[in-house]
Amino acid sequence: MTEDSLVSIDIDLEADGKQFGNMKVPMSTNSAGWSQYFIPIISIRNGDGPTVLLSGGNHGDEYEGQVTLMNLARNLDPTEIQGRIILIPMLNKPAAMAGTRLSPIDGKNMNRAFPGDKDDDITGKIAHFVAHHIIPLADIVVDIHSGGSSMHFLPSVNMHDLEDQEQMSRMIEAAKAWGLPYVFIYEDVAGSGLLPSYAEGLGKITLGTELGSKSQFGPEMLKMAADGIHNLLVWAGIISAAPIDTGISDSEVVAGDDTRDYIMAPCSGILEPLREMGDVVGVGEVIAVIHNPELIDGAPYEVRTETEGLIMSRRSNPLTAQGECIATLVRPR
């Protein structure tokens, strides 16, 4: 399980109490031949019990998890818990500080870098340390995402469809405890190397989220993140308190299990959405048109569905390149 890493950590994850520290990633730059890049990590522990890993900022431009986990790290007292909570608010901190999805240092997507390599670029080095030294400690792994700069999402807790039915049913139970409108079972249509895939593969109770988008960032989405984490910690037995009533007592479990549910732009241009999230559409419906700014006397290109379902997400950035995802459809499970 343990592999050598060039990354070090300056807190003791086995100690009781609350510790703020850093993962220190070796780096050599033009301004410092010898340097380390610091990524905050917090451990809150009180005796024996389950371990939950909470990460945010896997994609730098998704700030819901980052803010929620910074608040939680500051406010939670170790005496309020039984077990251990490890928080990494800004997993891809270089991207978070740049306001970008991908790392500005090496151009990498943290959520395609797992399990990484100890001699990789900075993103892969961080992924490798987290994969081999942090995730194995956890019983429950939560990676908080949102639509960031490019997508709007209906609020959901999400996961892949796993073969292990016992693990899957525990994950759905945990996801429902969060208290969001949807539990979204998704397919990978844009590559492998996801943090959740790695944790799922180790048999961990693994949850992701999609909470709104950069332009929906605000009190409503932050409350969904904070209340949901509280409810999950109650479900796990780490906090003995009543769950917070989110108004959702039974999340709807939906799946996008056909690659055609992930509708990619057939051409570049300016996207005009015609249908909104939450709408239910049939096969062959025009859900958006794409205007060609160089041929405005011609009709815009009609984007038609190839499957039916509820619109779970839609592109938030009108300027669209061929092949970029413009909407996702899901059906009840």
Residues that bind Zn ion in the complex, under the rule CB under 5 A: 59, 62, 145
HSE-CB of 192 using CA atoms within 13 angstroms: 5
Q: Which two tokens stand for residue 8?
A: 């070090």
Strands (E), 96-187: 140-143, 151-153, 156-159, 182-185
| 19 burial type by CB count under 10 A (0-12 exposed, 13-18 middle, 19+ buried) | middle
- Which of 59/84 has CB closer to Zn ion? 59
**Least spacing, CB of residue 174 vs Zn ion, in Å:** 19
3-state secondary structure of 321: coil
- Which of 51/66 has CB closer to Zn ion? 66
**Least spacing, CB of residue 61 vs Zn ion, in Å:** 8
- Which of 40/208 has CB closer to Zn ion? 208
**Least spacing, CB of residue 62 vs Zn ion, in Å:** 5
- Which of 62/261 has CB closer to Zn ion? 62
Amino acid (one-letter) located at 118? K
- Which of 83/193 has CB closer to Zn ion? 193
φ, ψ of residue 96 in degrees (nearest 5): -60, -40
**Least spacing, CB of residue 236 vs Zn ion, in Å:** 23
Go through the chain and tell me how many residues it has: 333
Residue 240 CA to residue 109 CA, distance in Å, equals 37
**Least spacing, CB of residue 144 vs Zn ion, in Å:** 9
**Least spacing, CB of residue 56 vs Zn ion, in Å:** 10
Q: Which residues pair with 39 in a beta bridge?
A: 23
- Which of 235/262 has CB closer to Zn ion? 262
**Least spacing, CB of residue 19 vs Zn ion, in Å:** 27
**Least spacing, CB of residue 154 vs Zn ion, in Å:** 15
How far apart, in Å, are the Cα atoms of 324 and each of 153, 265, 312, 327? 16, 5, 16, 9
3-state secondary structure of 304: strand
- Which of 128/145 has CB closer to Zn ion? 145
CB atoms within 10 A of CB 310: 19
3-state secondary structure of 182: strand
- Which of 5/210 has CB closer to Zn ion? 210
Distance of CA 8 to the CA centre of its chain: 24
In the chain, alpha helices (H): 64-75, 93-98, 122-129, 165-178, 195-201, 219-235
